[in-house]
Amino acid sequence: MTGLLEGKTAIVAGGGRGMGESVSVRFADEGANVVVVDKVADRAHGVRDQIIERGGRAISLVVNLRDDARLPTVVDGTLAAYGAIDVLVNIAGGMRLETAWRPLRDMDPADWDFVFRQNVRWVQLLSCAVADVMVGQGTGGSLVSIGSVSGIFGAANHAAYGAAKAGLIHLMKSLALEYGRYGIRCNTVSPGSIRTPGVEGMITAEQRARDEITTPLGRAGLPDDIAKAVLFFASDLAGFVTGQMLVVDGGATVRFPLPSPGAHPSESLT
């Protein structure tokens, strides 16, 4: 059976761990030539080797995506290896844990700038560079970014990350408008609580129990849950979908925050 991405070339920016690793491996399993981009060499090469061992096709590029001067090497390296770019997935992001939760009045401007560079600036630069290549190819393409439920709902003491992810969601909508005429689709996947390897080690038994109670599907998400959603947007299954955002959170953000009288514990936030 032909994979959903058979013969396509996909860049996974931030593809060396967690959600990025799952996207890279799933794309390869679906027939894509995968370009694993990560700032840590061992991670990038490790995922590349994993894909090759599974019978897939992949190269790895060691690039710090926050370094504007290095971004062209992602495009150049991909074209040198495979001659085309069909999909770009923007995954790398996040925040400094030590400054992630603090009131706006206490937010250092340097920390604010770091969060926006980490989550928005490089995405805009790389997405435009890749989209321009796709325009030249004349065959369309797909850009997918990883947002967050933090970019949709407010959270006290968490404004920088939320504002950055909200900006990222808007960025993808704007790219959809500007590049739609060329058949380039631009969408966002916004995860809720996802148990990546990095997060798993910091989660307490109490937090796991809370996820089971507060999430309608009764569990936290896994990296492959995100990979499947990204695959949808990247593939021809979403051929008439652009400028959209898909929340993948097990239903956690669906509920109204106040439980009704006599509600089942699974319907309560407490």
The pLDDT of residue 208 is above 80 = no
Q: What is the pLDDT of residue 270?
A: 33
Q: What is the pTM of this model?
A: 0.91
HEC readout, 4-48:
CCCCCEEEEECCCCHHHHHHHHHHHHCCCEEEEEECCHHHHHHHH
DSSP strand pairing (245-248 vs 33-38): unpaired
Catalytic positions, written as ranges? 161
- For the chain, domain boundaries: 9-200+223-249
- Is domain 9-200+223-249 given the CATH code 3.40.50.720 in the classification? yes
The residues, any chain, with a CB within 8 Å of residue 96's CB and separated by 6 or more, are 111, 114, 115
Residue position matching structure tokens 């796709």: 134
Q: pLDDT tens across 67-80, in order?
A: 999 999 999 999 99
Is pLDDT larger for residue 206 or for residue 130?
130
Q: pLDDT tens across 113-170, in order?
A: 999 999 999 999 999 999 999 999 999 999 999 999 989 988 777 788 999 999 999 9
